[in-house]
Amino acid sequence: MEFDFALGDIIRLKKEHACGGTDWQILRVGMDFRLKCTTCNRIVMLSRVDVNKRCKKIVQKGDGEPV
């Protein structure tokens, strides 16, 4: 499934992070994504393919509107 990602979006991934969080904020969009865990503020880089594969849904758009 292809998602339409934008800066500031909050996305939910299928697997939990080590801290227990599942929601991530998008800080950078391109061939690689920079994501920040909303629970522990850890920042990770993932490829676009990995993000598309691991994303369950977009929880909140970057402009603050719930999806």
**pLDDT tens-place string over residues 5-63:** 999 999 999 999 999 999 999 999 999 999 999 999 999 999 999 999 999 999 998 77
In which band, very low, low, confident or very high, does the pLDDT at 64 lie, cut at 50, 70 and 90? low
The first and second tokens of residue 5, run together, are 């990602």
Report, in angstroms and rounded to the nearest whole number, the Rg of the chain calculated over CA atoms: 11
Read off φ and ψ for residue 2, nearest 5 degrees. -95, 130
* Short-list 61, 64, 67, CA closest to 6: 61
Is the overall model pTM greater than 0.95, yes or no? Answer: no
Place of tokens 């227990």: 20
The H or E element that residue 29 is part of is none
